[in-house]
């Protein structure tokens, strides 16, 4: 589709807005109004500014206009986006629960608006200016409050550690993560583990030199339990041996897929000092599991949970995904019931992220929007059921191309919130990351700016160019040296 903009600065926001309704459409920005199906025009006459948006879609046409004396370009951009949003809404009949808001950290934005406008002002801003639904504003309010209590635990020298294991037993159809099916990468794993332990050691040395305080450690993936018990012990052993963990508040290991949960691995995780694990069924419906290429059944999740409880794990998170292919509202509700019977301390409800598909062009758009409405009912049901069960929302984030333009929400029983989840999403403090595709994020506590150090994306690159990669970590010390005296 062609887009004509009179203000080229609006390009980024307008394209993101169009993606809410047409996630996989190819947009081109054109200089000729006549060849465009989407037009956003700003005209100035003296102090008066006239904004207009037009949309031609499905052989229908919608056009809206408004006048203002506003001078702030950001605000003019927001108003233009709102006009275009209304045009889309008029033709498609779809109202996004997040309105024109497209950012990934809405709770952070809400918290910052509360500081500027007060709680009521922030609510009004989200409702009237960003067109966010009341239900999402309530969710934001609760999560922002809960996140604040966790963020306040973080102090000047606080950091968290992330360790990535980018292997999985097989690839799920919906996955967009850089993860290698173990069948293809088996030979690489011993070398990967050995080098990862070295990177952990080197990173810990830097942290010690800088006197950084480790608040949380998170071993994620992929599926960390693709590693053997012995390999898990080696990785966790390296963390315990080299980092100063006296003040550690949380040590999470994503056990991930239930088909990888064995007694040997769980014992290694327990002995390695994990305080929290995650066992992720995604759905408790075997038909849906087959449809997404997961090689386990719901009964494997039950067994994995029973085993983990028997071995003494007392803080277990379970993940569900709303909007999976073949899932229905009824089967999603049933999955949630099954999960609740297993009494997890926390439940994370994700929304499926759409992957590019030939079907999902303009013609497939109505189907995608309908899928979004179904997913919205699922996440609403999850929210109400979990809150009723005493499991409350404590953090949230969004990704691009989520079904229904929805969100991922972490729910927890009070006292069982996943601290690392909040720190990484809020960008509260520095994250020291080890492993393939891991990204170290250095946070300047004064300006709030984040500097990133990227590790190589793929495990074979990580192994082959390890020394080169390790060298990049020298930047950590320089970063803190430059901060010296400013905090």
What residue ranges bind ligand SF4 (CB under 6 A)? 168, 171-172, 175, 177, 179, 221-223, 256-257
d(CA 133, CA 378): 16
Residue (of 23, 13, 24) closest to 53 by Cα position: 13
In sequence order, the β-bridge partners of residue 160 are 216, 431
Minimum distance from residue 221 beta carbon to ligand SF4 (Å): 6
CA-to-CA separations, 304 to 158, 316, 343, in angstroms, rounded:
34, 11, 13
Minimum distance from residue 145 beta carbon to ligand SF4 (Å): 30
Q: Which is nearer to ligand SF4, 223 or 335 (CB)?
A: 223
Query: 42: how many CB neighbours lie within 10 A of its CB?
Result: 17
d(CA 41, CA 384): 42
Q: What is the 3-state secondary structure (H, E, C) of 273-307?
A: CCCEEEECCECCCHHHHHHCCCCCCHHHHHHHHHH
d(CA 216, CA 395): 16
Minimum distance from residue 277 beta carbon to ligand SF4 (Å): 15
d(CA 35, CA 67): 25
Q: Which is nearer to ligand SF4, 179 or 301 (CB)?
A: 179
- Are the beta carbons of 222 and 177 closer than 8 angstroms? yes
d(CA 98, CA 204): 41
Minimum distance from residue 320 beta carbon to ligand SF4 (Å): 13
Minimum distance from residue 398 beta carbon to ligand SF4 (Å): 18
Q: Which is nearer to ligand SF4, 223 or 428 (CB)?
A: 223
Q: Which is nearer to ligand SF4, 22 or 172 (CB)?
A: 172
Minimum distance from residue 256 beta carbon to ligand SF4 (Å): 6
Q: Which is nearer to ligand SF4, 176 or 384 (CB)?
A: 176
Pairing of β 28-29 and β 2-5: parallel
Minimum distance from residue 435 beta carbon to ligand SF4 (Å): 13
Half-sphere exposure (Cβ direction) of 115: Cα atoms closer than 13 Å = 7
Terminal Cα distance for the chain, rounded: 50
d(CA 449, CA 15): 26
Minimum distance from residue 466 beta carbon to ligand SF4 (Å): 23
Q: Which is nearer to ligand SF4, 178 or 450 (CB)?
A: 178
Q: Which is nearer to ligand SF4, 106 or 258 (CB)?
A: 258
d(CA 308, CA 416): 17
Cβ-Cβ contacts under 8 Å for 326 (sequence gap 6 or more): 285, 287, 288, 291
Q: Which is nearer to ligand SF4, 342 or 353 (CB)?
A: 353
Minimum distance from residue 174 beta carbon to ligand SF4 (Å): 7
Minimum distance from residue 319 beta carbon to ligand SF4 (Å): 9
User: Which residue is at the shortest CB distance from ligand SF4?
Assistant: 175
Q: Which is nearer to ligand SF4, 179 or 285 (CB)?
A: 179
Q: Which is nearer to ligand SF4, 179 or 371 (CB)?
A: 179
Pairing of β 250-256 and β 213-221: parallel
Given CA atoms 71, 74, 75, 76 in this order, what sign does their dihedral have?
positive
């Amino acid at each position: 589709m062609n887009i004509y903009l009179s203000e080229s600065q609006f390009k980024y926001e307008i394209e993101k807005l169009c993606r809410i309704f047409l996630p996989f459409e190819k947009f081109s920005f054109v200089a000729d109004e006549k060849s465009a199906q989407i037009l956003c025009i700003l005209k100035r006459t003296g102090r008066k500014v006239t904004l207009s948006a037009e949309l031609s879609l499905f052989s229908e046409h919608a056009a809206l206009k408004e006048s203002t004396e506003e001078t702030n370009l950001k605000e003019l951009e927001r108003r233009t986006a709102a006009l275009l949003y209304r045009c889309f809404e008029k033709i498609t009949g779809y109202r996004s629960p997040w309105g024109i808001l497209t950012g990934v950290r809405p709770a952070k934005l809400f918290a910052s608006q509360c500081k500027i406008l007060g709680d009521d002002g922030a609510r009004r801003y989200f409702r009237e200016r960003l067109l966010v639904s009341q239900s999402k504003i309530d969710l934001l309010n609760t999560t922002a409050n809960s996140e604040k209590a966790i963020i306040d635990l973080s102090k000047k020298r606080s950091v968290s550690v992330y360790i990535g294991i980018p292997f999985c037993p097989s690839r799920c159809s919906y996955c967009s993560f850089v993860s290698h099916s173990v069948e293809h990468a088996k030979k690489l794993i011993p070398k990967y583990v050995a080098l990862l332990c070295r990177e952990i050691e080197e990173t810990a040395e830097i942290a010690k030199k800088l006197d950084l305080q480790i608040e949380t450690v998170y071993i994620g993936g992929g599926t960390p339990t693709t590693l053997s018990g012995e390999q898990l012990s080696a990785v966790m052993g390296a963390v315990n041996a080299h980092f100063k963990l006296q003040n550690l508040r949380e040590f999470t290991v994503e056990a991930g897929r239930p088909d990888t949960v064995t007694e040997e691995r769980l014992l290694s995780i327990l002995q390695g000092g994990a305080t929290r694990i995650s066992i992720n069924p995604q759905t408790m419906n075997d038909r849906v599991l087959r449809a997404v290429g997961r090689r386990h059944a719901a009964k494997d999740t039950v067994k994995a949970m029973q085993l983990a409880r028997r071995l003494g794990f007392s803080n277990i998170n379970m993940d569900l995904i709303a909007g999976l292919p073949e899932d229905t509202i009824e089967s999603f509700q049933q999955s949630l019931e099954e999960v609740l019977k297993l009494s997890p301390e926390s439940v994370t409800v994700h929304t499926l992220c759409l992957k590019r598909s030939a079907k999902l062009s303009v013609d497939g758009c109505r189907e995608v929007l309908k899928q979004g409405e179904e997913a919205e009912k699922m996440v609403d049901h999850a929210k109400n059921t979990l809150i009723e069960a005493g499991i409350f929302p404590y953090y949230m984030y969004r990704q691009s191309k989520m079904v229904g333009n929805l969100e991922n929400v972490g729910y927890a029983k009070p006292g069982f919130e996943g601290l690392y989840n909040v720190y990484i999403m809020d960008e509260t403090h520095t994250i020291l990351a080890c492993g393939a595709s891991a990204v170290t994020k250095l946070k300047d506590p004064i300006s709030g700016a984040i500097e990133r150090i990227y590790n190589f994306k793929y495990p074979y690159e990580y192994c082959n160019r390890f020394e080169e990669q390790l060298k990049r970590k020298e930047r950590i010390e320089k970063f803190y040296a430059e901060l010296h005296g400013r905090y």
